[in-house]
C-alpha cells in the first residue's frame, strides 16, 4: 500500500533519502526556532480618512505573518523589533541543498516606505502585484518563496488596505543582501524552507 505522507521541510527527515549513508546534509546546519506571527509595527501618524484602511491592513499583515520573513532575525527566532518589516539579512534557500551545496537564496526585502532600501519608490501597482502575484519590482520576476498563491485571493479592498498600511509605516533604512542564484556561494546566513513528499504517492 502506498504511503501518503507530506513531509514539511525538516531536512532531518531527508537524511534517509541520501544514497550514501555516510553523507549527512545537516553537518553544517542546526535547527532554529522560527518566529511565526509577530506584532505588526505601529503606523507613523495616520490621516483620519485612512484610519480604517490602515487598521485593517495592520490586522491583515499580522494575520498573514508578513513579519515572520520580512523582519530581521525572525527566521531564526530572534526578531529585531527595531527592524520590523524592514527586511531580513538572513536569507531563505529555495533550492535543495541535497542537489547543490550552494542553493539559490532569496533575502526578504524591506517593505517599509524607505526611499533607498524599502518600497518608497515602488508604485501602488508594483506593491499590489508583489502581494497578490508574487512579482518583484524588476522585470516581473517571480518571488520564489512569497506565498502569493494564497494572497492572490485577497479582495481588492484587503490588498489596498495592506498597501495603505505599509505606506503609513515609519521608513526604516535597512539594506538586505542581494539574492543569490543557485550554484553561487554566499557568506550571508540562510535557512531552508520547502515541502517534500515521498516518491511513492
Opening angle at CA 92, ends 86 and 97, nearest 5: 165
Q: Exposure pattern of 45-73 as b/e (b: 16+ CB <10 Å)?
A: ebeeebeebbebbbebbeebebbbbbbbe
- Residue ranges of the chain with per-residue pLDDT less than 70: 1-21, 23-26, 28-36, 137-141, 143-144, 194-201
Q: Can you give the pLDDT at residue 195?
A: 60
Q: pTM to 2 decimals? A: 0.78
In CATH, the number for domain 32-88+107-188 is 1.10.760
SS3 content of the chain, % helix, strand, coil (to 5): 30, 10, 60
Backbone angles phi, psi at 53, to 5 degrees: -65, -40
pLDDT digits (tens, 9 = 90+) for 61-99: 999 999 999 999 999 999 999 999 999 999 999 888 778
CA–CA gap between residue 89 and residue 8 (Å, rounded): 24
CA–CA gap between residue 69 and residue 146 (Å, rounded): 9
Amino acid at each position: 500500500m502506498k504511503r501518503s505522507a507530506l513531509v514539511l521541510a525538516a531536512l532531518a527527515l531527508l537524511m534517509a533519502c541520501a544514497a550514501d549513508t555516510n553523507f549527512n546534509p545537516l553537518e553544517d546546519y542546526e535547527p532554529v526556532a522560527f518566529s511565526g506571527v509577530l506584532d505588526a509595527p505601529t503606523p507613523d501618524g495616520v490621516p483620519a480618512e485612512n484610519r480604517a484602511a490602515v487598521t485593517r491592513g495592520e490586522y491583515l499583515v499580522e494575520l498573514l505573518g508578513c513579519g515572520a520573513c520580512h523582519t530581521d532575525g525572525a527566521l531564526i527566532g530572534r526578531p529585531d523589533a527595531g527592524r520590523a518589516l524592514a527586511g531580513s539579512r538572513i536569507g531563505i534557500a529555495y533550492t535543495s541543498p541535497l542537489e547543490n551545496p550552494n542553493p539559490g537564496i532569496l533575502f526578504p526585502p524591506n517593505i517599509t516606505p524607505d526611499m533607498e532600501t524599502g518600497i518608497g519608490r515602488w508604485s501602488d501597482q508594483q506593491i499590489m502585484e508583489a502581494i497578490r502575484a508574487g512579482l518583484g519590482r524588476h522585470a516581473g520576476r517571480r518571488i520564489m518563496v512569497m506565498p502569493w498563491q494564497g494572497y492572490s485571493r485577497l479582495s481588492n479592498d484587503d490588498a489596498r488596505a495592506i498597501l495603505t498600511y505599509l505606506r503609513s509605516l515609519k521608513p526604516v533604512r535597512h539594506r538586505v543582501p542581494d539574492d543569490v542564484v543557485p550554484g553561487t556561494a554566499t557568506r550571508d546566513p540562510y535557512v531552508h524552507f520547502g515541502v517534500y513528499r515521498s516518491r511513492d504517492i
